[in-house]
Amino acid sequence: MLNNLVMVGKIDSVPAEDDLDLVLEVRRSYLNMDGIFDSDFFKCRMWLGIRDNLIKYCKEGDVVAIKGRLESNYKKDNDTKINDVDIIIERLVFLRKNYSSNIECDKIKQE
């Protein structure tokens, strides 16, 4: 059996110091009816060391790749069965910083 997951997306928001959840925005690979790429938002859980590096080196909009696994949590609440699936980040790679377009344009004009 193999439980492996790889995703590349933008950080939707950097987690707080006491939070272990990251929301990753992943753009779909096809256009919708309006000719626009939609995005999906995935809540991912991570370990303390990964979170600390993320807080230290990343900000909202940075592009990262994650390798992880799916973890199923089964709950029974008031005779209602709930099956919840979490994404667990095992490895996070920083791919690209999010620079504002104005900064990039200013650099090009100066050169």
Domain that holds residue 10: 5-110
Checking if the pLDDT of 6 tops 90, the result is: yes
Tokens coding 46: 């991570």
| 32-41, 65-74, 93-102: the lowest-pLDDT one | 93-102
Q: How many domains does the chain have?
A: 1
In the chain, DSSP assigns E strands to: 5-13, 21-31, 37-45, 63-77, 80-96
Query: How far, in Å, CA of 75 to CA of 79, rounded?
Result: 10
Other residues' Cβ atoms within 10 Å of the Cβ of residue 89 = 23
> Is the backbone of residue 54 left (phi > 0), alpha (psi -120 to 50) or beta?
alpha
* Residue-averaged pLDDT of the chain: 85
Q: pLDDT digit string (tens) for 57-78?
A: 888 999 999 999 999 988 777 7
Q: pLDDT digit string (tens) for 8-27?
A: 999 998 888 888 999 999 99
Q: What is the CATH number of the domain that holds 77?
A: 2.40.50.140
